[in-house]
Structure 1
């Protein structure tokens, strides 16, 4: 790969990282238009790497290309959100049923520690990412890599709305409440009883602030 290709690739990465952080942190609202001219000026890049970054974001379901209207932050209907949560629940329950009694919980504990530090720092995006990291680590305990990849893709789409949940939670709850919910889930995992884990997941409160 030549220098010019490397530079173009790095600009795509830059644009993708910046825009995904803005979207997943809740700084941009679902349905908000992303105007190419404004983005190229703000990011200091040309249209080619920007369009490639937008294509990658569309693959993840974070933006939508609307005919004759350009690009906007993805929107999900109430039915979309409900169905995604149903898929999430099915995948979680299947994974939990496959967790061996001697499962290594180190990755789950590490994700919880990241969540604690992000909460202390008040970094909304880091908190949302830590929530996703925690649940991905839980599902990974089931040992099915294909299921884990599908599960994470569902969580990325839901993070658009989970970011709104976290923003509302910050207005009505103590910042540490989210950490405590995940501590209870970790305690259930440590017990190693499938019914206890499923019960903890059901009471986890992920949908409490859905619109």
Structure 2
């Protein structure tokens, strides 16, 4: 809702998806201004859904609002990125230690496995945007193993803020090494979880290498 007007959800979703994809792909660089008028003209929509989309993306941490100057892609410092990844590791390790031993009934790793398959399918199709989404779901599913609602709530904003660094790492890895290496790293982490041994899973998490290919200079 903007200025008391209920907006058509489809237009907001379209604008949000488009700008998010452009930020994650690097089409918009950190610090680059995102002009509302130019975005409206390019998407063929009115200002209201575009403004709402930008507000939602600001909540996710991908862009930021500058008073009287509009929106720009969020500028990260090296310290910001390192601290966020450290928080992610701490919370994921805590989730694994809390969740193990996993329940013997059913398939407690179903959501993790499904997210990895979605990563594979999107990668094979060349859909980097969907691969990024599945990548986030993969890590969220790991934390979800603990069945701790408050932990999920604490983890969600960290994962949102890490959207851009995580996407950049995967894409840089694909350029520098074999394209499927990012998928392989996540498959190895799933295999460690499948071992049923918390120590093995935590060790795999420590080797996961989410910073291996990331240029930390986001300024």
How high is the TM-score relative to the length of structure 1? 0.90
Check conservation: 1:66, 1:72, Cα contact below 8 A: yes
Tell me which residue corresponds to 2:170.
Answer: 166
- 1:103-125 alpha-carbon deviations (Å, 9 max, x no partner): 41111111111111112112222
Instruction: Tell me the CA shift for residue 143 of structure 1.
Output: 0.7
Tell me which residue corresponds to 1:24.
Answer: 24
Secondary structure in 2 matching 1:31:
coil
Q: Which runs of 5+ in 2 are unaligned?
A: none
Structure 1 Cα separation of the partners of residues 93 and 51 of structure 2: 38
Check conservation: 2:62, 2:163, Cα contact below 8 A: no
Structure 2 Cα separation of the partners of residues 93 and 7 of structure 1: 40
Structure 2 Cα separation of the partners of residues 131 and 188 of structure 1: 17
Structure 1 Cα separation of the partners of residues 13 and 128 of structure 2: 22
Greater mean alpha carbon deviation, residues 66-75 or residues 108-117: 66-75
Structure 1 Cα separation of the partners of residues 17 and 72 of structure 2: 17
Secondary structure in 2 matching 1:126:
helix
Tell me which residue corresponds to 2:127.
Answer: 123
Greater mean alpha carbon deviation, residues 19-28 or residues 190-199: 19-28
- Structure showing the higher helix proportion among its residues: 1
Instruction: Tell me the CA shift for residue 7 of structure 1.
Output: 5.2
Instruction: Tell me the CA shift for residue 41 of structure 1.
Output: 0.5
Tell me which residue corresponds to 2:40.
Answer: 40
Tell me which residue corresponds to 1:148.
Answer: 152
**Number of positions where the alignment pairs a residue of Structure 1 with one of Structure 2:** 209
Regions of 4+ moved over 4 Å: none
Tell me which residue corresponds to 1:86.
Answer: 86
Match 1:204 to one of 184, 205, 208: 208
Q: Which runs of 5+ in 1 are unaligned?
A: none
Instruction: Tell me the CA shift for residue 175 of structure 1.
Output: 1.5
Greater mean alpha carbon deviation, residues 39-48 or residues 146-155: 146-155
How high is the TM-score relative to the length of structure 2? 0.87
When the two chains are superposed, the root-mean-square deviation of aligned CA atoms in Å is 2.0
- 1:10-40 alpha-carbon deviations (Å, 9 max, x no partner): 3223222222222233332221110111011
Structure 2 Cα separation of the partners of residues 152 and 105 of structure 1: 19
Structure 2 Cα separation of the partners of residues 138 and 144 of structure 1: 11
Structure 2 Cα separation of the partners of residues 52 and 92 of structure 1: 32
